[in-house]
Structure 1
């Protein structure tokens, strides 16, 4: 840390949690440069951002992305680098170059690449959790389609995911709302891109988000999704009491001497056991449930543990409205789920991110062009958020 006021660079400003964190930093008077691969990124237009920049896509143009980030660090005298999504892997791989650009006063608020990779791969993460004594559903690893097919015969009800899949994408199951949406014949696991097949457990999905300094959790939020979009990502978030999620986060953070933001997904069964599902080594929606003061203190002046109390609620209003318009029968349920929730994209005196969330739909066109996805695929609105900032385990140049 430095004695001078931090100057923050927040990358991948499109994400809802990025919008929220940028807004919070602005509320507490921090100087924030917001960066993303397209100019209409909602978080770049928050009042919390002192300025915004467009950078090349880390997934497709890694070297240019790193060079652009280095230039921003130098030009804006950045002292805190705060990644918001999987661009963190590309930044971590080139940590030394970033350090050269920012000097000794640059706080890289994320772990080294090997630590990040250890928890990102779902297969390795599940094995790691078991080594630490943390619960996870029974599982098998498939590196071929035949192995995948055989693994699905191990349990009457099963759920399969790509090791590097994110956002509810790249999943197969024979149970629940996503059953039958995809076929095993459409999937080709490999040794480099394996799939994890697990027994399908009935329970409640929970998530947590933590701010961690050198292995110690200083701010923790656990939440559920009273409402999701297309049975995938949450669009209403409500904080809950969960000592179990805090204990799991503390166990992993201390084991890895984690430094940065750290998030987990859990499946909570009727007996209260929190089964580890996956790790997101960056912020998630749990940050929206912390106050600006809680977040600012956790980053820049931590003094012990703060746990977000149960009952706080946030929502992505546009997504709630979209779901109600697309499925009129959901209206009553949506209103009940959203009751008492304030918006993420439209916070007090900060409404431009909401406008730009609509303008940023042009990013879908770029997504279709690059990947050739059928515009009718159900997961498109989720996938378009990620395509140029994902890391799929491939070597990073």
Structure 2
């Protein structure tokens, strides 16, 4: 394989708004790759990183799939792209059209698995079944496909936690325990066979996540991290690497079983006995990439050798989100400062500060989201949901 500074590494990075996209774009540019950043709106923070040579605006894959694929095909040819690196659930739309993307482009690396492989781990119901088949720890669960089945399922345990099979980012959840208890009522949820919900016993413990770079079933770079601080008890905004042989073994087991090729991430619930219970799979990058160095990431992509595991103690933060939490909840000041102490920024990296500015300017996307879906401006989920509404996949057939 060629090194990271080879001019043939011409990258197209899609959904550049995501914090891990900002980080990976910065790292790729730092190590010499030619990066084209793409998203559905011009103010996407990652599109304005110094790591991107150029940026383009593309149609929304969720609402305008064919137009999105056409735009991607045009970008692949116009910029002579050799690597397509998706950052979020647009990967499903790309994978569904994999043959079109690959046709006549023998030097193009599509760094993501087939659609069927992606779908198997994205659906929480089939993912839980896969974990059981592989002997991985996963909480007992009941799948509800109707209102009556949901009521019966939540009555199975004194404390329960329910999630939509295709929900993401801490959205589409309900529980009667913990910090999110009662935020969503059972009467507000209406499962169907096409949109099932998974109900499990509520477990207490520490949330952990992992991220891996995988080549044809072999993990070459791995990190496991905790988030000492989360936004509204949902998505993490401070990330600290930890030692976790359990998460590495999990990543290797799943990657080898599915012959995974691409980036692969998992969420776990670590109970007091040290068991890492499987929660969900994110078939894409997550914040774990932020605690890897630029050289570690570039080597894992372009010149993988022996396995590299990110050591414990590295810390990154989305500082604007930390500030938001302090301003919104002044009583959190001491805890927030303690959680973020020693962390370097995701959006504000060395000589690369425009993503931080555009993270504020991109709030226009929240306004567009409100208009698109008519969401209540006071709903706590809105900032998270606004990240996803035009690049998410809900299990529906893709044309």
TM-score range, shorter chain: over 0.9
Shift of 1:361: 0.2
Query: 1:276: which partner in 2?
Result: 278
Q: Distance in 1 between matches of 2:353 and 2:8?
A: 26
Shift of 1:365: 1.1
Q: Is the 8 A contact 2:7 2:34 kept in 1?
A: no
Q: Distance in 1 between matches of 2:351 and 2:218?
A: 34
Query: 1:341: which partner in 2?
Result: 343
Query: Where has structure 1 moved over 4 Å in runs of 4 or more?
Result: 1-4
Q: Distance in 1 between matches of 2:176 and 2:314?
A: 34
Q: Distance in 1 between matches of 2:28 and 2:129?
A: 36
Query: 2:154: which partner in 1?
Result: 152
Shift of 1:5: 2.6
1:268-323 CA-to-partner distances (Å, cap 9, x unmatched) read 00110000000000000000000000000000000010000000000000000000
| SS of residue in 2 equivalent to 1:104 | coil
Query: 2:67: which partner in 1?
Result: 64
Q: Distance in 2 between matches of 1:372 and 1:184?
A: 22
| SS of residue in 2 equivalent to 1:227 | strand
Query: 1:387: which partner in 2?
Result: 389
Give 1:6's match in structure 2, choosing from 2, 5, 9: 9
| SS of residue in 1 equivalent to 2:106 | helix
Shift of 1:369: 1.1
Give 1:193's match in structure 2, choosing from 188, 192, 195: 195
Query: 1:105: which partner in 2?
Result: 107
Give 1:42's match in structure 2, choosing from 38, 42, 45: 45
Q: Distance in 2 between matches of 1:370 and 1:97?
A: 30
Q: Distance in 2 between matches of 1:80 and 1:221?
A: 23
The TM-score with structure 2 as length reference comes to 0.98
Alignment of 1:314-325 (within 5 A): 314-325=316-327
User: In the alignment, is residue 303 of structure 1 matched against residue 286 of structure 2?
Assistant: no
Query: 2:94: which partner in 1?
Result: 91
Query: 1:328: which partner in 2?
Result: 330
The TM-score with structure 1 as length reference comes to 0.99
Q: Is the 8 A contact 2:49 2:352 kept in 1?
A: yes
Q: Distance in 1 between matches of 2:12 and 2:272?
A: 42
Give 2:269's match in structure 1, choosing from 261, 267, 271: 267
Q: Aligned Cα RMSD in Å?
A: 0.8
Q: Distance in 1 between matches of 2:375 and 2:213?
A: 36
Q: Distance in 1 between matches of 2:212 and 2:37?
A: 21
| SS of residue in 2 equivalent to 1:119 | helix
Q: Distance in 1 between matches of 2:379 and 2:323?
A: 20
Q: Distance in 2 between matches of 1:237 and 1:162?
A: 25
Shift of 1:366: 1.0
Query: 1:358: which partner in 2?
Result: 360
Q: Distance in 2 between matches of 1:175 and 1:97?
A: 47
Shift of 1:4: 5.7
Query: 2:180: which partner in 1?
Result: 178
Q: Distance in 2 between matches of 1:125 and 1:287?
A: 23
Compare 64-73 and 362-371 and name the one that shifted more.
362-371
Give 1:163's match in structure 2, choosing from 162, 165, 187: 165
Give 1:76's match in structure 2, choosing from 64, 79, 87: 79
User: In the alignment, is residue 257 of structure 1 matched against residue 259 of structure 2?
Assistant: yes
Q: Distance in 2 between matches of 1:372 and 1:110?
A: 33
| SS of residue in 1 equivalent to 2:103 | helix
Shift of 1:381: 0.5
Shift of 1:6: 0.8
Q: Distance in 2 between matches of 1:126 and 1:178?
A: 22
Q: Distance in 2 between matches of 1:389 and 1:141?
A: 26
Query: 2:57: which partner in 1?
Result: 54
1:165-197 CA-to-partner distances (Å, cap 9, x unmatched) read 000000010000000001111111000110000
| SS of residue in 2 equivalent to 1:365 | helix
Shift of 1:236: 0.1
1:10-51 CA-to-partner distances (Å, cap 9, x unmatched) read 000000000000000010011000000000000000000000
Q: Is the 8 A contact 2:7 2:33 kept in 1?
A: no
Query: 1:231: which partner in 2?
Result: 233
Shift of 1:127: 0.7
Q: Distance in 2 between matches of 1:108 and 1:84?
A: 13
1:45-99 CA-to-partner distances (Å, cap 9, x unmatched) read 0000000000000000000000000000000000000000000000000001111
Q: Distance in 1 between matches of 2:129 and 2:98?
A: 27
| SS of residue in 2 equivalent to 1:180 | coil
